[in-house]
Amino acid sequence: MEARINRERLWHTLSELGLIGRSPTGGINRLSLDAQDLLARSHVHALMLEAGLSVRQDEAGNLIGRLEGDCIDAPAVITGSHIDTVTEAGKFDGALGVLAGIEVLRTVKELGVKHHCPLEVICFTDEEGVRFGIGYLGSRAMAGEWSPEWLKAKDKDGISLNEAMIQADIDPSLAERAARPAGSIRAYLELHIEQGRVLEDANLPCGLATAIYGYRWLLVKFKGHADHAGTTPMALRRDALLAAAEAVIAIEKLAIRSGGTATVGTLKLSPGAVNVIPDEVIFTIDYRHSSIQALTEMGQQMETTLESLAFRRGLTVEVSETDGATPVTCSEQLTSMLTEVCGSIGIKAMPMVCGAGHDAVAIHSLTEIGLILVRSKDGISHHREEWSSLEDCSDGADILLHSMLRVAQK
Ligand code: GLV
Ligand code: MN
Ligand code: MN
Ligand code: MN
């Protein structure tokens, strides 16, 4: 009988972690390093210990559980993901990768399976980037891309990343030391829910990513003039919201034309009164594509569109790029090894491009990456209705188990 993870135990840990940060409506709110996220981090820390792993927290707050192999100096085979969430999230995004990673290492230890390379499971700090506007924060720090500038970023309550790290007992001045030397990681394999509809449409439990979309985040500010809602003729207005409304529609068209995606996810207008023309609108754009060239073109077209809308309505516009990551390709070698593993343990999986962002993108600059995806019910994610079945999650975890062992045994 092939080794398998303990399905019920994995499901139980998913259910338990899903209780931390749960709102009365059933959505999960664990914005990075907030009180609920800190609670979840200590829960995961305890789970890693219970699994018999040696646990440490690196200088960027990444929690690392490790199981030594026969050779202590060999490069590690790593899996990981995140437990911070967006607002009103589901319980699978990120959590599955961390908990399945712990389950995999626990299974290897319990069964006493021999392996040459050490195995690690990492719970990365702040993958979502919702609270401070910086995605892949912990994984980028590990990849040597930490920027001290990030510490100035503030959340919506004015708390800076610097303050949040100190509150979490992470010394911000040391964060760049989380960088790991190239060559210290043999391979990185991440398990994540698909967050889309491809696998469900194909009636398959799992997917193997060949590439992951890049993204850019923009902050846009239209500035016009506030005025009286009753006396200002329509032709004489400098209404910032009208430009923003046109921009939102134009951005949708542009994304459709380019074959990528674009989303205006936050929008704030001022002064915000029923009888006053809005003089300022600030909004964000998240746009993504699998091709770096198309991503760059989308950005150029957006800037041109925003400028011409502002000009036409007598407004000013400021556009700043606040975050981003380039598209990456997954290792062909790892992906074909994953395909073989699926065949040998009897799990059906298909190759696919992944539209969501993952810590694997950041780790790509350190080592080869592979990404295993698990079917999402109705493709829903970043929402409390996010769901993947026990069977599909466990299939994904079994692929992770066997693929980590294959790499670590060489
Ligand atoms: C992160 O979850 C992202 O893909 O936005
Ligand atoms: Mn997410
Ligand atoms: Mn995620
Ligand atoms: Mn993500």
Which residue lies with its CA nearest to atom 3 of ligand 1? 357
Full-model pTM: 0.96
pLDDT in tens, 203-244: 999 999 999 999 999 999 999 999 999 999 999 999 999 999
Read off the tokens for 40. 């979840």
Q: What is the mean pLDDT of the chain?
A: 98
Element (H, E) at 256: helix 240-258
103 lines ligand 1 (CB under 6 A): no
Alpha helices in 259-389, H assignment, sequence order: 292-312, 332-345, 359-363
Report d(CA 168, CA 161) in Å as an integer.
10
Return d(Cα 225, Cα 212) in angstroms, integer: 42
Whether residue 396 has its Cβ less than 6 Å from ligand 1: no
- What is the best residue among 28, 85, 86 to mutate for testing ligand 1's pocket, by most ligand atoms within 8 Å of CB? 86
ipTM of this predicted complex? 0.93
User: Per-residue pLDDT tens for 97-117?
Assistant: 999 999 999 999 999 999 999
All domains in the chain, ordered by first residue: 7-213+327-409 (3.40.630.10), 214-325 (3.30.70.360)
User: pLDDT, tens digit, for every residue of 283-299?
Assistant: 999 999 999 999 999 99
